[in-house]
Amino acid sequence: MQELFCRLVSTPSPSGQEADVAKLIMHELSRRGVTAKQDGSKAFTNSNSGNVIATIPGGKRRLTFIAHMDTVEVGDRRIKPTVRGGVIRSDGSTILGADNKAGVAPLICALGEIVQMSKRPTVTGIFSTREEQGTMGVGYLPKGNNGDLVFVLDSEGDVGGFIHKALGSRLFDVEIIGKEAHAALNPEKGANAVKAAGLIITSLKLGRRSHSSILNIGMISGGRKRNIVPGSATLSCGARAFDEKTIRSAINEVDAAAKRACKATGCRYRIRMITDDGAPTFEVNPDSSVVKIARSAAKNLGLKFSISSRMATFEANILAAKGYRPLVMCHGGKLPHSTSEVLKVSDLAATKSMMVELARLSA
Ligand SMILES: [Zn+2]
């Protein structure tokens, strides 16, 4: 599996360009006797590959594993993995790509073992596209059944750890409309949109607002020329929280701040929600069957079981909105999206064993 992992990370697959790694995955699955095909999500995601869907027929219970194929891009350099002392690293100039090939490699091998099991559930393995940006491949998946067991392999943290709750996010722009005027001849005729933007920013509590809520203004643009009173400005905002109500109240607060700022400066504003991005909130009850089976699998393998929330957003958020009841599974990788990203070789086997055990328990 270590060799397979190294081959997967050496095959570039930035978001939207997963075709090469998809081909490698399909080849590795077919070698193990697992049937797989690509779905029609290409047109939907603008990726050069569809999601790879592997299916293993079995009993009534349905079990699905999902691992995204894409990685965040750090330059055009190839990832060169090195293994030393049981730890896999890049050469230090790129990410390693354990996010998410530390999910992909064990999933291929687990499916190869599950297909040999005489008693097994119906298992689907989904290798998805464009998780890291833009329209996500999982957005194309059909509506789910909340009786199905779904595990999303996509988190740092020790194997045996699961995530049942993650942040939802809403992205929006505050567009401020002022009035241009000559900066020297008749500034009093203008309405300064950049000043309104400044007032909005200074009156809000930004960053971490509570243990469960985040508000960020990530970009500000406005004005046209040094000698013109700025007639327009835009603030690009994002609100995140574990529940929709908290997200809504953060947006309302921005709205109220914009109203006050515009009143003071003679500007107008509108809030424009960005619909194709952001994510719904995600939470699975810790008493649900998917959590129970995860706990049993960890116990049977002698791994420490844990369930927690995470200040992050996953494919699980999209799946939950589609009616699935997914859990995010930790696969051991550490420091994702950085050149210091690492993975222990032993985590590959532990992640694979976890999936095989989940299949055995749900047969
Ligand atoms: Zn990931």
Going from the Cα of 126 to the center of ligand 1, the distance in angstroms, rounded, reads 14
What does the pLDDT look like over 95-111, one tens digit per residue?
999 999 999 999 999 99
Ion ligand 1: residues, CB within 5 A, are 99-100, 154
Going from the Cα of 247 to the center of ligand 1, the distance in angstroms, rounded, reads 23
Res 199: pLDDT: 98
Going from the Cα of 336 to the center of ligand 1, the distance in angstroms, rounded, reads 8
Task: From 115, 112, 73, 64, select the one nearest 94 (Cα to Cα).
Answer: 73
Task: From 283, 260, 271, select the one nearest 204 (Cα to Cα).
Answer: 260
Q: State the average pLDDT for the chain.
A: 94
- What domains can you pick out in the chain, each with its CATH number? 2-167+281-361 (3.40.630.10), 168-279 (3.30.70.360)
What does the pLDDT look like over 339-363, one tens digit per residue?
999 999 999 999 999 999 999 999 9
What does the pLDDT look like over 192-231, one tens digit per residue?
999 999 999 999 999 999 888 999 999 999 999 999 999 9
- Cβ atoms of 305 and 338 within 8 Å: the answer is no
CB-neighbour burial class of residue 306 (10 A; exposed 0-12, middle 13-18, buried 19+): middle
What does the pLDDT look like over 283-294, one tens digit per residue?
999 999 999 999
CA distance 75 to 337: 12
- Cβ atoms of 34 and 101 within 8 Å: the answer is no
**Three-class HEC string of 177-210:** ECECEECCCCHHHCECHHHHHHHHHHHCCCEEEE
Going from the Cα of 98 to the center of ligand 1, the distance in angstroms, rounded, reads 8
What does the pLDDT look like over 164-200, one tens digit per residue?
999 999 999 999 999 999 999 999 999 999 999 999 9
Element (DSSP H or E) covering residue 358:
helix 345-361
Task: From 170, 136, 147, 184, select the one nearest 318 (Cα to Cα).
Answer: 136
Q: Give the CA distances from residue 246 to residues 210, 308, 310, 346, in Å, rounded to whole numbers and listed in that order.
A: 10, 20, 16, 40
Going from the Cα of 187 to the center of ligand 1, the distance in angstroms, rounded, reads 50
CA distance 17 to 57: 30
CA distance 169 to 189: 39
Query: Tokens representing 205?
Result: 């509590």
CA distance 342 to 95: 9
Q: Which pTM does this prediction carry?
A: 0.87
Q: Which residues make Cβ contacts (< 8 Å) with residue 60, sequence separation at least 6?
A: 121, 122
